[in-house]
Structure 1
Amino acid sequence: MDFGWTSEQTTLYERARAYARAQLAGAVEAGDGLPRALWRRCGEFGFLGLSVPERYGGLGMDALTTARLMEALGRGCEDTGLVFSVGAHLFACVMPLLEGGSDGQKDRYLPRLCSGEWVGANAITEAEAGSDVFALKTRAAREGDGYVLDGTKSYVTNGPDADVFVVYAVTDASHGYMGLSAFLVEKGTPGLRVGRRFEKMGLTTSPIAPLYLEGCRVPASSRLGAEGQGAPLFKRSMQWERACLFGAYVGVMERVLERTVDFARQRKQFKRAIGKNQAVSHRLADMKQRLDSARLLLYRACWLMDRGQEAELEVSLAKLAISEAAVQCGLDAIQIHGGMGYVTETGIERVLRDAIPSTLFSGTSEIQRDIIANHLGL
């Protein structure tokens, strides 16, 4: 493994970070929906199509460079809700479409999704199918030249603003793992209804809502890949999400560490900077150690993905390390900032609120530990 970046990668990272800092400053608390002006700016730079070929409007980056640019986005943009929506759009909607879609589907959807004209969403989670994603109750029944979808999806990120959904439904319950299929369902399709937006403790600018499918008829051409290929498509999308999306949290942690170190140098108590106190300096040293350890696990996972090697174990190790380090980073930053860290106007407490869901989405920390244990032969 080469630990160096090419000059092109380094330049692109610095451009991405500077762009995010200058152009994506804006709402960091919930509004009526995604800030569409900022969303279009994400598309203008290429964040919405980092890993999509250039012929469809993307940047054509490999997994490692994609993760690195998501890191730049997380470091430069303080609106982690917006950053999360970008990642959910790209890795859970755009990448399944790229890797499983027909030429016609890719030509129709990818340019709009990469440019920021459209917002994409993934709809798989249900009330009784969270970690156990294959316990889906949503059904897709074949009728003539199409399918009729019925069911309810929970916690659809970008749902209130999405123009197209990747919806997973059971087409043949007797086939188990191979009985799941994926469908592209556009906003406005009869029988498709987005529920009331949920209020959340963090990632507040990333809208999330339930999705209701009631006799929702779609043509067979809306099916993503072959019938029964939904599970492999979803598994692959989770690999992209668990790896590359979490690059954003690496960037967030670096930004928070830099800010907290500066605070520890400037804040004085008992006539000296609090960073001179070992209790504070050691906490900062631990923040740095967790950050770099998590980052290296991420880079290794993406490096393996780019070589076409099996990376399930490495991706789970990276996802687990990053998410739990991000939560601890938020706790450490609040503790070091003291009362200033607890009040909302400084934005420090928001770091923790935005980090907590990272241990839940894309597979909980417990699920990642199950995957790791399975690879250990347990």
Structure 2
Amino acid sequence: MDLGLTSEQQAYIESVVKFSEKTFGSINVQSISSSDFNEKNWKQAAEFGFTGLPIPEQWGGSGLNVLDTMLMVETFGKTCIDMGLIFSLCAHMFASTVPLWKHGSEYLKEKYLTDLAQGKLIAANAITEPGSGSDVYSMNTTAIPSAKGDYFYLNGEKCFITNAPVADLFLVYAKTDTSHSFLGVSCFIIDRNTPGLQVSSNRQKTGLATTPWADIYLNDCKVPSNQLLGSIGTGAAIFHESMIWERSCLFAAYVGAMERVLNQCIVFSKERKQFGKPIGHNQAISNRIVDIKVRLETSRLLLYKVGWQADQGKPNELDVALSKLWISENAVQTGLDAIQIFGGMGVSKEVGIDKLLLDALPARIFSGTSDIQRELIARHIGLR
């Protein structure tokens, strides 16, 4: 694996830096502390290409490979403080648009894919339920075919659905065979205005505040059979693949955010003086900053290894779990250390250094909890 960046990759990074600084450089911490979705920011990011980075150009995307997609997302995380916006874009791209690209019929691709890749339509991935989180395939939502087989009737409830309040489309996972777990799940693409589909109001959050999320309710929701993604019983496999993409690429944003916070800590530790010298001269502070640097670089190495493996077509589920676990846990610890370094200002809303911690805490939960990643790793190394 060559860790040096090509001239083309460097150009990608520079383009994100210029775009982000010009478009989002004026965003302040106060403006992203409320749970309000900013449609203007979404559209600007979509026009730049952040809703279809790996999608082929023929479908309106940028056609980037996995590693280049990671580099773009990482740089966005470094240069834009609104992690809620980044998370919303990535959830749309990796958990919804990629599955349509990989598994959709020509009919579904022609109908939706270009508009999704260009961010003209917003998508939400709906699988989590009140009674099935980590045990995701024990869902209670059902999809029963009509007598003629031309429709399915979906009934159930989904919760914590990212982008739901603003979504035009939903990828909804439901049981088409309740006697099976993994093989009993199917996936449907449902338009927001479909009768029987109801979306709750936006739910408030402390972290990733600008990412909208809500519950959805399905009450005899009548979905045409041609809105089935893949085939009957392949929904679990589709979801599993989408999580590989999300765990791989979305977490690049946290690597970028860790680098941004590291730089803030270095500058502050040089400028802030106590006992007549910069606090960075004190080992208690410098050791914390060194630890942040080590966590950043090891996270980046794991991330890039996963991207390289994916582009080489190599199996990498173990390394994806290692990367997701390591990055999410390190982002939380980096957030804690940054607050400690900044002292009283670390919990000041005006300074906003606590945003990494608030935005990173959910990273240990979504896309498979840290404990689930440990279970996957244990299985791969022969402990299960």
State the one-letter code of the partner of 2:308. Answer: W
Once the two structures are TM-superposed, the CA of residue 28 in structure 1 deviates from its matched residue by 1.3
- 1:29 corresponds, among 28, 33, 40, to 33
The answer (yes or no) to whether the contact 1:138–1:170 under 8 Å persists in 2 is: yes
Once the two structures are TM-superposed, the CA of residue 105 in structure 1 deviates from its matched residue by 1.0
The answer (yes or no) to whether the contact 2:177–2:185 under 8 Å persists in 1 is: yes
- 2:354 corresponds, among 330, 333, 349, to 349
1:70 aligns with 2:73: yes
The answer (yes or no) to whether the contact 2:145–2:152 under 8 Å persists in 1 is: yes
The answer (yes or no) to whether the contact 1:331–1:352 under 8 Å persists in 2 is: yes
Question: How many angstroms apart in 1 are the aligned matches of 2:23 and 2:35?
Answer: 19
Once the two structures are TM-superposed, the CA of residue 195 in structure 1 deviates from its matched residue by 1.1
Match of 1:129 in 2: 132
Alignment of 1:116-195 (within 5 A): 116-143=119-146, 144=148, 145-195=150-200
Query: For 2:179, what is the secondary structure of its paired residue?
Result: helix
Once the two structures are TM-superposed, the CA of residue 314 in structure 1 deviates from its matched residue by 0.2
Once the two structures are TM-superposed, the CA of residue 114 in structure 1 deviates from its matched residue by 2.0
Question: How many angstroms apart in 1 are the aligned matches of 2:272 and 2:347?
Answer: 16
Match of 2:338 in 1: 333
Query: For 1:51, what is the secondary structure of its paired residue?
Result: coil
The answer (yes or no) to whether the contact 1:88–1:241 under 8 Å persists in 2 is: yes
Match of 2:87 in 1: 84
C-alpha distance after superposition, 1:322-365 (max 9, x if no partner):
00000011101100011111111111112211110000000000
Question: How many angstroms apart in 2 are the aligned matches of 1:351 and 1:164?
Answer: 30
C-alpha distance after superposition, 1:26-58 (max 9, x if no partner):
4412244x2111111111111110010011111
The answer (yes or no) to whether the contact 2:100–2:109 under 8 Å persists in 1 is: yes
Alignment of 1:1-378 (within 5 A): 1-25=1-25, 26=27, 27-32=31-36, 34-143=37-146, 144=148, 145-378=150-383
The answer (yes or no) to whether the contact 1:198–1:208 under 8 Å persists in 2 is: yes
Which stretch of the first structure deviates more once superposed, 173-182 or 211-220?
Answer: 173-182
Once the two structures are TM-superposed, the CA of residue 18 in structure 1 deviates from its matched residue by 2.4
Query: For 1:348, what is the secondary structure of its paired residue?
Result: coil
Once the two structures are TM-superposed, the CA of residue 175 in structure 1 deviates from its matched residue by 3.4
State the one-letter code of the partner of 2:101. Answer: L
Q: Which runs of 4+ in 1 moved over 3 A?
A: none
**Structure 2: gaps (5+ residues):** none
C-alpha distance after superposition, 1:273-296 (max 9, x if no partner):
111111111110000000100110
The answer (yes or no) to whether the contact 1:24–1:41 under 8 Å persists in 2 is: no
Once the two structures are TM-superposed, the CA of residue 116 in structure 1 deviates from its matched residue by 2.1
Once the two structures are TM-superposed, the CA of residue 265 in structure 1 deviates from its matched residue by 0.7
C-alpha distance after superposition, 1:184-237 (max 9, x if no partner):
011111000111222112111001111101110010010001111101100000
Question: How many angstroms apart in 2 are the aligned matches of 1:237 and 1:116?
Answer: 18
The answer (yes or no) to whether the contact 1:195–1:211 under 8 Å persists in 2 is: yes
**Structure 1: gaps (5+ residues):** none
Question: How many angstroms apart in 1 are the aligned matches of 2:280 and 2:33?
Answer: 31
Question: How many angstroms apart in 1 are the aligned matches of 2:55 and 2:20?
Answer: 20
Query: For 1:344, what is the secondary structure of its paired residue?
Result: coil
Once the two structures are TM-superposed, the CA of residue 174 in structure 1 deviates from its matched residue by 2.2
Question: How many angstroms apart in 2 are the aligned matches of 1:149 and 1:375?
Answer: 36
Question: How many angstroms apart in 1 are the aligned matches of 2:174 and 2:374?
Answer: 27
Aligned in 2, Cα 1:110/1:24: closer, same or farther, shift over 3 Å? farther
The answer (yes or no) to whether the contact 2:54–2:62 under 8 Å persists in 1 is: yes
Query: For 1:175, what is the secondary structure of its paired residue?
Result: coil
C-alpha distance after superposition, 1:80-117 (max 9, x if no partner):
00011011110110011110101121122122112221
Query: For 1:367, what is the secondary structure of its paired residue?
Result: helix
The answer (yes or no) to whether the contact 2:138–2:181 under 8 Å persists in 1 is: no
Question: How many angstroms apart in 1 are the aligned matches of 2:310 and 2:289?
Answer: 32
State the one-letter code of the partner of 1:11. Answer: A
State the one-letter code of the partner of 1:129. Answer: S
So what's the TM-score if we normalise by structure 2? 0.96
The answer (yes or no) to whether the contact 1:63–1:306 under 8 Å persists in 2 is: yes
Across the aligned residues of Structure 1 and Structure 2, the Cα RMSD in angstroms comes to: 1.0
